[in-house]
Amino acid sequence: MAHSLEVPVDGSSSVAPAVLVDRRIRHGTPAFRRTNLALFSSGFATFGLLYCVQPLMPAFSRAFNVDAAASSLSLSLTTGVMAVGMLFAGAMSDAWGRKPIMLVSLLGSSILVLLTAMAPNWTSLLVLRAMLGLTLAGLPAVAMTYLSEEVHGESIGYAMGLYIGGNAIGGMSGRILSGLAADHASWRVAVGMIGVLGLVAAFLVARGLPPSLHFQKRRAHPRALAEAFGTLWHDKGLPWLFAEGFLLMGAFVTIYNYVGYRLLAPPFSLSQSHVGAIFMVYLVGVIGSAWIGSIAGKLGRRRVLWSTLVMMLAGVVLTASGSLWAIVAGIAVMTFGFFGGHSIASSWVGNRAPSAKAHASSFYLFSYYMGSSIAGSLGGIAWTHAGWSGVAGYVAALVLLGLGIALKLRRLTPLASVP
């Protein structure tokens, strides 16, 4: 928001408008550095808190005597509740402010993760992980809105890239660190360590994130919110893109949920640390997201999306091999395709909804994380009854459905200015 300042002219009592001053945060300023440090660390912590349990699922199975499908609830419950919470977190921040919602989200989530490390039984652990989904929803849903309001247009791309980078690196690091800590201590130490990192990030947000200067308080109206979400279904492409997000994330998270069970067991018999290190292929995904996104910008999303599903399918086929290197290569190829497909689908959603971008993005994230919750848990049934061949077949079916949707979207009549 630009502010008009008035100053006296020639010592008289009259005033004249001064040059408009844009108070948005710009690259190269101390405020920009504080903002990026706070949001990078918050994104890092948020996705570390969320995904730190993924490599620990086999440890949960041993500690609480539950099967793979039940153990996957430690992640699926969190993402499912978070998906629902994201539909309302934006409206809450409209009423209460961006920074307070983000800070409460991060602080509350860190405390819940610390309590999870002390959970006496499986039921209490799942209750705490479900509550975590509710508190976590506040930060991802609001952080991008804060950046779009407070950062200057010339600097928003760089700031958004750093925030998203923090998300990806946090998700990867949370998995790797928890795997290492579990190998050398216990799963409780691993989870507690991630909770402490969350508290550090909350401190950085409280001290470093500048207050909102361009936020305008608005009351949440449930009826208006429902009507806004209802308009999304009038578009011929958006419902299919929501379904695509569900399938993309469902296939992706299933592979990562259960590959640990396979690699910890004979004939591989890897350590927890080595299994956790596999999550370093996330870096391949970050590169894939940017590279495929740039190609889609040149050739058009409808011409590129289907190819990312083909890559994912090829990766799934490779994981069916008995060679460890082929399995790792398959996970890397699938990760590359997934991040590329997600970047295309999520950006396409915003362009298909010119009058309700925030609501369209919220519903895409809802579908995306429901894919993690529902499809990820069903993959555990496939593992229990048919081992890795069952998991690979199940994921291949999800990817083939996604490929069918991508080919359907290829024939979708584009809106004006939407490639």
Kindly report, residue by residue over 56-98, the tens digit of the pLDDT: 999 999 999 999 999 999 999 999 999 998 888 767 777 677 8
Q: What average pLDDT score do residues 105-120 get?
A: 96
Task: Answer yes or no: is pLDDT of 245 > 90.
Answer: yes
d(CA 83, CA 120): 27
pLDDT (0 to 100) of residue 11: 46
Task: Answer yes or no: is pLDDT of 285 > 80.
Answer: no
Task: Answer yes or no: is pLDDT of 18 > 80.
Answer: no
Q: What average pLDDT score do residues 368-388 get?
A: 93
The contacts of residue 372 (CB under 8 Å, 6+ apart) are 75, 76, 79, 80, 249, 250, 253
Same fold, 27-217 and 221-413: yes
Asked if 352 and 367 touch (Cβ cutoff 8 Å), the reply is no
Residue 413 confidence class, pLDDT cut points 50, 70, 90: confident
Give the domain ranges of the chain: 27-217, 221-413
Q: Does domain 27-217 have CATH number 3.40.50.300?
A: no
Pairing of strands 6-8, 15-17: antiparallel
More reliable by pLDDT, 89 or 312:
312
pLDDT digits (tens, 9 = 90+) for 136-150: 988 876 777 777 777
Q: Does domain 221-413 have CATH number 1.10.287.3510?
A: no
Q: What average pLDDT score do residues 40-50 get?
A: 88
Residue 10 confidence class, pLDDT cut points 50, 70, 90: very low
